[in-house]
Structure 1
Amino acid sequence: MSNQTHRLKDGGRIDRGAALGFTFNGKSYQGYQGDTLASALLANGVHFVARSWKYHRPRGIVTAGVEEPNALVQLETGAYTVPNARATEIELYQGLNATSVNASPSIENDRMAVNQLFARFIPAGFYYKTFKWPRSWWGKYEEVIREAAGFGKAPTALDPDRYEKTYAHCDVLVAGAGPAGLAAAWVAASSGARVVLVDDQPELGGSLLSGPAMIDGLPAAAWVAKITDDLRRLPEVTILSRSTVFGYQEHNLLTVTQRLSEHLPLAARGAVRERLWKVRAKHVILATGAHERPIVFGNNDLPGIMLASAVSTYIHRYGVLPGRKAVIFTNNDDAYQTALDLKANGAEVTVVDPRPAGNSSLPATARRQGINIVNDAVVVTASGSRHVKMVEVARHQDGVPGQFITSLACDLLGVSGGWNPVIHLFAQSGGKAHWSNEKACFVPGSAMQKETSAGAANGDFSLSGALRDGALAAQQAIVAVGLKPIVLPSWKVVELSEAAIMPLWLVGDRKQVGRGPKQFVDYQNDVSAADIYLAAREGYHSVEHVKRYTALGFGTDQGKLGNINGMAILAEVLGKTIPQTGTTTFRPNYTPVTFGTVAGRELGEFLTPIRKTCIHPWHQEQGALFEDVGNWKRPWYYPRGKEDLHAAVARECLAARNSVGILDASTLGKIDVQGPDAVTLLNWMYTNPWNKLEVGKCRYGLMLDENGMVFDDGVTVRLGEQHFLMSTTTGGAARVLDWMERWLQTEWPHLKVNLTSVTDHFATFAVVGPNARRVLQKVCKDIDFSNEKFPFMSFREGSINSVFTRIMRISFSGELSYEVNVPANMGRAIWDAIIEAGKEFDITPYGTETMHVLRAEKGYIIVGQDTDGSVTPFDLGMGGLVAKSKDFLGKRSLIRSDTARSDRKQLVGLLSEDKDVVLPEGSQILAEPSNEPIADMIGHVTSSYFSPILQRSIAFALIKGGLGKMGQEVSIPLANGRNLAAKISSLVFYDAEGVRQHVE
């Protein structure tokens, strides 16, 4: 185990009494409780932690937060592995195991590092221009590309952890717990508001924990502790630490991922790893801070080159001195604090600043402390192999480097090019950012939702400004939600004078931008300044096009460090201003979110709800095999002995045709429709009229969408003058109810009608076959089942074993058939009674496969199988159901030229030449046999079965102009190369006269 060579003797917020062992790339190291993996590696003198994506250049830790582009690791192994985790965010725990990604066989001996030798041949967009010839080699190219693409490796084992989702409402949500966020939360909570405070760090405080600031005479950390205690004592405050607001949706809905146990050793983790919060806030305060910008110069990607603020963070929060001979390259005053921090901890420091010498607070203090400052100068290039060793400094003249000044040996280069407010959530909320020339960054414009940006997120980078901004934002939120404002506190801090920033995007001779050392804009994707120049030369002038051509802003950091520099360089190339060039789109997620968090508990068998009918246990007892229909488990078939599917279905079909069968149809959608305008609604919903349907009668209806395409079908019964019971397909129940509610709420809110789903309220059993009447007469004595008293397409109400029963005489099989509806909680008892009554007729339960065969023999369609969203009633040969005397949804679309074409695909029957061959569903249909790889398809098979009663195969097909091609022969190419002939026929294969469903 190595020594912590760069750990300070004291200081930091780590627990030095809790040493933790961990491994990185197979080597053992030690850190402390409170470290991140990045800080622990730096404490052990490890800067070289990664290889870049394209060139496989050595890369080191650049930042201390979520914007880290380089230090990606594969965390843990097996089922617990996490690809592309940022070392700057991983809290150290005992036994942590991490490895570098994008390096093989090791980071030191990465075989793909050879790409550095060919860098000039793989610039931006090279993948669009190569691998095209010879065409036959593409398979080999693809293997190499897939091997080289990406960073880490996704786990192959099932995730053993559990994830949860929860929902919350609040008056004020504060995103970020730095100085502005804490001030806002304290003021809002003190007014009695319900506050949710979200921060991605394990402890609150943000930037206050990374510097020597004083507030009200207290060290910043002590002030943070006081405010935190105040907040925790208030019952209406919810603090979510280790949590990130990653999305801002409409109506002030924010999505938050809370990491509950990732900071613990694997063996000690709790039951829930992460929780997804969906928070609806009356008002939102965005105190998300700012990201420091790097500066683009030669070899600016070497390990040991870090953001200046990150250096201060490692010193103050983690007690780590990243380097002992440091250079700070800055165009603003803030980085002088880093120089002071380094100096105070024994490092030798030189500051390089392109601005002339000034007397603002921090530079003056640095000068008094004896820190060497080189003004009017820039770092032109850095040198070193796997760690920065030296920088070259040149005079800064008219925005470009001038005369060479000196070379400075160093083991650390801290860089600061200014600050970018974190406006991601603001942009996601619909707000538009605008460019501030004074601050050289994009700042929030007018809010589009009930939101206020505060502090650094609003472009105010001073501590006093952040505290003031946060308090004022909270006061605004309090008033907005209807609470009484309070007297705002006046937290006192030392005011610092500050010289203006000098915008500095790219250092170097523009004419030589592609000829010297690489000048990286996007570290993760190896996008250099030369790549942006190349994109502009090749005609990519839109920033969004440049992003996609160069990969600028792709990857896990989403351009948090590089995008503004990239936009500024593009603006310069195009001769435009930065506002004219614009920004790329800020999309969720702000930081990567695990699939587990999004999925929650909806995994495996819980991916979708499993719905079972009240007869499900009986089906299981009979050995039924099930299939999923919508969310329902429906019996597929009931094998007896060694029967396979085909034998069982043949037996079930013949039983229904020759005696009696019973089907559990409880899954059919049932919607109760009541109200004075119920008939009006049904007339709009269905293609056929409903005004004259008598009470006690049933009617089949087709439902269309706005495009005139069949949407659903089913039988509706009229229970009373203003009362209907509508049935839908099993899978379409929820969709149809949503569809009807949508029209009622948006277009016809004046209609007085109520819709209620009663699918689960009633159990439905179809008793089918020549003996169906005899079976039901044995159990239901108070209904006359004769044809005269109980005609087809009507219903009667009675009782079975004193249980209310509604029986409908409808048929989906072509046989004498009744649908028995009883309250679901009595369903099993009534089912058992019917089974008992049917024993003398050898009553046979049948499943969905038999149901399909029976309905296909009679030519009945199934919406969603024989239709596909592009089929009209006329295509189905069901034009007789389309009323001419009334309007309905989709009617006008039926008169379009396209829906009136004679060559539309139309539903017809198919009889294969070989009676024993069941055509594969989905098979393509040709006008004539062809063995060509490309042929003109005229249709496809939608349903196909073997008919036991007909002793031959039957099929439905959608064929162009099929209704006019009866008797014509077509060809179906099979997978074995055979072309099977089939004849177009009527859809009705059995009992074309329809006498069986009217049998006495």
Structure 2
Amino acid sequence: MTRNANKCRISGGRVDRGKPVKFRFDGREMTGFEGDTLASALLANGRHLVARSFKYHRPRGIYSAGVEEPNALVELGELGRLTPNVQATTQELFDGLTAKSQNRWPSLRLDALSINGLFSRFLTAGFYYKTFMWPAGAWEFYEKFIRRAAGMGKGTHLRDPESYEHVHDHADVLVVGSGAAGLSAALTAGQAGHRVLLVEQDFELGGALLYEQGQIAGKSLEDWRAGMLAETEGLDNIKILRRTTAFGYYDGNLVGCVERVQDHVSAPDPHLPRQRLRHIRAGKVILATGALERPFIFGNNDLPGVMLASAAEQYLNRYAVAVGKRVVLYTNQDRAYDVAVSLMQQGIKPAAIIDSRTTVDGRLHEFTRTNGIPFFPGCEVIEARGHQHVSSVKFVRLSEGSEAKEISIDCDSLLQSAGWAPVVHLQSQIGIKPVYDAALDTYMPGVCATSDHGCAGAMAGYFDAEAAALHAVKIAKYLTGSRKTMPLLFKGKIEEDRHSVTAIPVRKAGKCFVDLQHDVTRDDIEQAQLEGFKSPEHVKRYTTQGMAGDQGKTGNINTLEILSETQEKERSLIGTTTFRPPYTPISIGVVAGRSIGAELSATRYSPFHACHERAGAKFVEAGDWIRAWYYPKAGEDVTAAYIRETADVRQTAGMVDVSSLGKIDVQGPDAAEFLNRVYTNGWKMLAVGKARYGLMLRDDGMVMDDGTTWRLAENRYFMTTTTTGAARVMRHLEYLLQIDWPELKVNLTSVTDEWAGVALAGPNSRKILTSSFPGTDFSTEAVPFMGVLDFEHEGLPIRICRLSFSGELAYEVYTRAGYAELLWNQLLAGGQGEGMILYGSEALGALRIEKGHVAGPELDGRTTATDLGMAGLLSSKKAYVGSVLKDREGLIRKDRQQLVGLAPVDGTIPLQAGYLLFEGDGMTPRGHGLGQVTSVTYSPALGRQIGLGLLAEGRARDGTIIRAVDAMSDSVIDVKVCSPHFYDPNGERLHA
């Protein structure tokens, strides 16, 4: 049916009629105005049918005016900008907007898959669990069809041309929501001098003030709102974020918000992101998120033209759109009559008001009588009728019971209001369960266990604007310290006629939908009960009610009422489902932020990177780092280069970049005690100017990381960690100080990027240092093994420790990152006459395997200190992280895999990391074997292939021959089990 542009517009509203906006829906050009949403513009153009339902492909229309919208999900944009499942009710209209309806084929008005409705009796809750399990083995056939039908809307495989970013905000007080409560709370906290951040998901501040009628402090809602905005925006310490939705509330008063920076503009600024993910840390959080209107359940309650009464009021008063001319209002509470008043002011007399309460206030009777509105108290709607739009409503009188005569009224819109549900989603996300309030017949926020947050206004049950504002002021004063007691949630008066407020009909007719987004009916909920799913969480998963974008916004309370009715339990005993982030859907793009493509993770370069480039290095990715892999000479590949480099280090000396090692500055009077608890070995007696190797366990007794820590001063240490474990160790240590040992006076600072470091290894390394830094004594007496020097040479800050990863006489030399090239050149100059070469990470790995040092492949999170031959580092005189669980039965079994050396019987045959280890002979075995090869290399010192591995009862198998097997290629290599310390096992060269 063709409609004239803006045929349904009326006078008034907040849209700017001087700024028309052209947009397209399903290929048809339409016109709206600036200030419209896509939904209001569609309604203004007479378009109610906007989608098809998920399972039955029933016609669906615009149901609400906000984030609770279950039906009007559209595809927005084209090509790489295509975004599915956008709620038309929250999408601002902009010039050139292109939207398409979803879940239909070949067209919205004629959808072939609507035939599913004929088979609805076979498509009930959980039908796929029962249907696609037979015949046996047929799942692979079914799966491709199921996957094709699953989901709503379609995405794109094209690259998103938009950009996204993450930012971090801090505030004394965060206020979520800008209605009467939110504005009052923000202004109160701001006037008290606190830094306030006010976030609002809408593009205008005001919440329900934008469309409701009434007064606060003797002023109209609009005048009061304007005055509050002027005061709020006039304070420098209040920051306001519009188009920003708080989607997640996490521990430590961390609130995740998505700011839609350019979702509303036709010509995006290339220098701005489309959206921002804001990580907001707040001292106090005030939740003023309002309440959502609750729908009724009746037959065909999903027809286009059936919508929430508050939504119709918002379209009427805010967007100047009449959703119908012959309107029926169905309610069970007084607030809905304000909608009738708004309709009358626009010259739209309701065709009828149906009130399920048998006792209605006399003034409401007077209102309907004075205005000539047909009034039906004590009645219940049992069915809406129509094809692709509601055309009539059928209802009965409750007093007449099962013999009630059906009454029918023609209409083009059915507005319903079954009460209000506070938006408890955010508070629920931090583990506070909602509490059922029998007086209000709804679920209220749980009691705030601490004073770090409060619930204000309609969210706390104060549905009147003035009451909400006053309540929010008290909440703000309490949280900011000027009031001693937390204001109470609203406690209503229990009404005598409990039946009159129910949203669940006594009689059924047609399909009664509870969750419109997922086509879940009342019958589905009842069936789940019959099949043994009693818990709300189980019912949710079995029926899909309240999942995905809906998150129980419109159907949750009605579902719980059905469970209560079916199980004959008090509502307070039924419990609730768990509301999880995000509160509203968020895009994958804003989650990823800048971390896409080449920036999927941060690319980190050593301070020596330019030096490596000049030296002709080949590079390799090592986690986030770009490291020098090898330095080829003419005609050399990586194998030839690393073998040469490894041999040269052992013969003369070599320098390798170790800047990527994690580095943590540990300071404080309790630093020694802290390290003593973190590491398995003792630390309290470590002298200033000395370093010690430390082993760190997880709580479960498994090795987490290893490294050296240097004592620079009485209360200051310099800790190094593995390259890949740096961030993990830092998080672990911070957690221990904040949660487990907050009494310890210790400060941790990650200084990985502040220090550039090299390892200088080989028999000539001491001579090179002496030449590089004349005047400094590097003798064994001055710098013994694990000795530390911290000095300055001609303005160059130097920090040196004598330690070795290669097994040679070696030193780690550090300077501030800004001095990296100076240090590099100084050492190159000092090494010219000593045969010093540069070596990369490949040779570094070969050196450590020859020496038998463990690294990443062995520290895989499944090995204990005993497995790795480090039991001597486990102190028996103190407690430390992991000391209790390290001796669990499973971790001390004799058959655990232990670190061993592996030498191929034929030393020319190379091993491969990942080969499985077996004993015996015969054909290639199958299964997991006795262990696996972890690290391999060619050893120039030994002139053969060697490797490290983890082998069951490995040390007891010393000298035996086993097989290393690659099951993929059926390769089998005989290897001899030996000590992992292939080179200089007694450490004579190390201590030279």
Structure-1-length-normalised TM-score: 0.90
Quote the Cα distance in structure 2 between the aligned partners of 1:270 and 1:76.
20
Q: Could you tell me how far 1:606 is from its partner in structure 2? A: 5.1
TM superposition shift of 1:545: 0.8
> What is the CA-CA distance between 1:377 and the residue it aligns to?
2.4
Q: 1:333–1:498: 8 Å Cα contact kept in structure 2?
A: no
Q: Aligned AA for 1:67?
A: E
**Whole-angstrom CA distance in 1 between matches of 2:921 and 2:319:** 76
The number of residue pairs the alignment matches comes to 977
> Which one is further off, 96-105 or 971-980?
971-980
**Compared CA separation, residues 22 and 948, structure 1 to 2 (3 A):** farther
- Counterpart of 1:504? 502
- 1:612 has 2:612 as partner: no
| Residue in 2 that maps onto 1:493 | none
Larger mean CA deviation between 123-132 and 847-856 belongs to 123-132
Name 1:454's counterpart in structure 2. 456
Deviations 1:117-165 (CA, angstroms, capped at 9, x unpaired) = 2211121112222322334332222211211111123343135223341
Aligned to 1:288: 289
State the distance in 2 between where 1:583 and 1:765 align: 59
Q: Identify the residue that residue 490 of structure 2 maps to in structure 1.
A: none
Distance 1:720 1:531 in 2: 70
CA distance in 1 between counterparts of 2:953 and 2:280 reads 54
Distance in 1, Cα, partners of 2:130 & 2:418: 34
The alpha-carbon distance between structure 1 residues 507 and 742, as it changes in their structure 2 partners (threshold 3 A), is: closer
Aligned 1:788-937 pairs, distance under 5 A: 792-794=785-787, 803=796, 805-840=798-833, 842-862=835-855, 864-884=856-876, 888-912=880-904, 915=907, 917-928=909-920, 935-937=927-929
Q: 1:690 to 1:262 in 2, by over 3 A?
A: closer
User: Which has the larger displacement, 343-352 or 408-417?
Assistant: 343-352
Which residue of the partner structure matches residue 264 of structure 1?
A: 265
Tell me if the contact between 1:336 and 1:366 (Cα under 8 Å) persists in the aligned partners.
no
Q: Work out the CA distance in 1 between the residues paired with 2:58 and 2:319.
A: 28
Q: How far off is 1:440 after superposition?
A: 1.7
Q: How far off its partner does 1:641 sit? A: 4.8
Contact 1:49/1:60 (8 A) holds in 2: yes
> Contact (CA 8 Å) 1:970, 1:984: kept in 2 or not?
no
Deviation sequence 1:29-56 (CA, Å, 0-9, x none): 1111111111111111111111111222
Deviation at 1:550, TM superposition (A): 0.7
2:729 matches 1:708: no
SS of 1:146 mapped into structure 2: helix
Deviations 1:836-871 (A, max 9, x none): 343455532111121011110121111x32122232
C-alpha change, 1:500 and 1:94, in structure 2 (3 Å) is farther
Indicate yes or no: 2:416 matched with 1:415. yes
SS in 2 for 1:221: helix
Separation (CA, whole Å) in 2 of partners of 1:193 and 1:277: 20
- Superimposed CA distance per residue, residues 544-601 of structure 1 (whole angstroms, 9 cap, x where no aligned partner): 1111111110121211100100110111011112111122122332222334444444
Residue 621 (1) aligns with residue 622 (2): no
- Written as runs of structure 1 = structure 2, the 5 A alignment for 1:347-366 is 349-356=351-358, 358-366=360-368
1:467-546 residue pairs with structure 2 within 5 A?
467-478=466-477, 480-483=479-482, 502-509=500-507, 517-546=510-539
Alignment partners' CA distance in 1, 2:745 and 2:394: 81
Q: Secondary structure at the match of 2:390?
A: coil
C-alpha distance in 2, partners of 1:97/1:825? 52
Aligned-partner SS, 2:950: strand
Alpha-carbon shift at residue 906 of structure 1 (Å): 0.7
Does 1:574 find its partner at 2:552?
A: no
In 2, distance between residues paired with 1:571 and 1:318?
39
Inter-CA distance 946–261: structure 2 relative to 1 (3 Å threshold): same
Aligned 8 A contact 2:262 2:268 in 1: no
Counterpart for residue 556 of structure 2? 563
How many Å separate the matches in 2 of 1:746 and 1:198? 30
**1:153-188 residue CA offsets vs partner (Å, 9 max, x unmatched):** 3343135223341313134x4332223333444555
Deviation at 1:249, TM superposition (A): 3.5
Alignment-mate amino acid for residue 202 of structure 2: Q
C-alpha contact (below 8 Å) 2:164/2:276 kept by paired residues: no
Q: Displacement, 1:85?
A: 0.9
- Distance in 2 (CA, whole Å) between partners of 1:755 and 1:184 is 37
Deviates more, 1:802-811 or 1:235-244: 802-811
Maintained 8 Å contact 1:16/1:33: yes
Which residue of the partner structure matches residue 65 of structure 2? Answer: 64
Deviation at 1:381, TM superposition (A): 1.6
The equivalent residue for 2:388 is 386
Write the distance in 2 (CA, Å) between the matches of 1:750 and 1:420: 44
For residue 674 of structure 1, report the CA deviation from its aligned partner: 6.4
| Kept after mapping to 1: 8 A contact 2:918/2:925 | no
Q: Which has the higher mean CA deviation after the structures are superposed, 725-734 or 70-79?
A: 725-734
Q: What is the 5 A alignment of 1:402-801?
A: 402-450=403-451, 451-462=453-464, 466-478=465-477, 480-483=479-482, 502-509=500-507, 517-604=510-597, 608-629=601-622, 631-641=624-634, 643-671=636-664, 681-689=674-682, 698-717=691-710, 725-736=718-729, 739-740=732-733, 759-783=752-776, 792-794=785-787
**Equivalent in the alignment of 2:491:** none
User: SS where residue 774 of structure 2 aligns?
Assistant: coil
Q: Which amino acid aligns with 1:83?
A: P
1:63 Cα deviation after fit? 0.5
Tell me the distance in 2 between the aligned counterparts of 1:283 and 1:798: 47
Question: TM-score w.r.t. structure 2 length?
Answer: 0.90
* Shift in Å, 1:750: 7.1
Alignment partner, residue 49 of structure 1: 50
Matched, 1:162 2:156: no
1:719-763 C-alpha deviation (Å, 9 max, x unpaired): 567765443323334544555565566666777777665545543
1:455 is displaced (CA, Å) by: 3.2
Q: CA deviation at 1:3?
A: 2.1
Q: Distance in 2 between matches of 1:679 and 1:328?
A: 73
Cα distance in 2, alignment partners of residues 138 and 749 from structure 1: 54
Change (3 A) 1:96 1:388: same
C-alpha displacement at 1:25, in angstroms? Answer: 1.3
> Contact 1:358–1:499 at 8 Å: present in 2 too?
no
Deviating more after overlay: 214-223 vs 39-48: 214-223
Deviates more, 1:819-828 or 1:842-851: 819-828
Q: Which amino acid aligns with 1:957?
A: G
Gaps of 5+ in 2: 485-494
Map 1:19-58; keep pairs closer than 5 Å: 19-58=20-59
Question: Cα RMSD over matched residues?
Answer: 3.4
Give the CA deviation at 1:764. Answer: 2.7
Instruction: State the one-letter code of the partner of 1:34.
Output: G
Deviation at 1:415, TM superposition (A): 1.7
Query: 1:985: which partner in 2?
Result: 978
The answer to whether the Cα contact below 8 Å between 1:928 and 1:971 also exists between their aligned partners in 2 is: no
Aligned-pair identity in percent equals: 43
Within 2, Cα distance between the matches of 1:764 and 1:314? 65
**Is residue 337 of structure 1 aligned with residue 342 of structure 2?**
no
Alpha carbons of structure 1 residues 271 and 827: separation in structure 2 relative to 1, 3 Å: closer
Equivalent position of 2:954 in the other structure = 962
Secondary structure, aligned partner of 1:532: helix
- The aligned runs of 1:315-326 (5 Å cut-off) are 315-326=316-327
Q: Which runs of 5+ in 1 are unaligned?
A: 486-496
SS of equivalent residue, structure 2 residue 141? helix
Task: Name the counterpart of 2:308.
Answer: 307
Query: 8 Å contact 2:915–2:964 — kept in the other structure?
Result: no
1:69, 1:523 within 8 Å by CA — same for their partners in 2?
A: yes
Is the contact made by 2:474 and 2:483 (CA closer than 8 Å) also made in structure 1? Answer: no
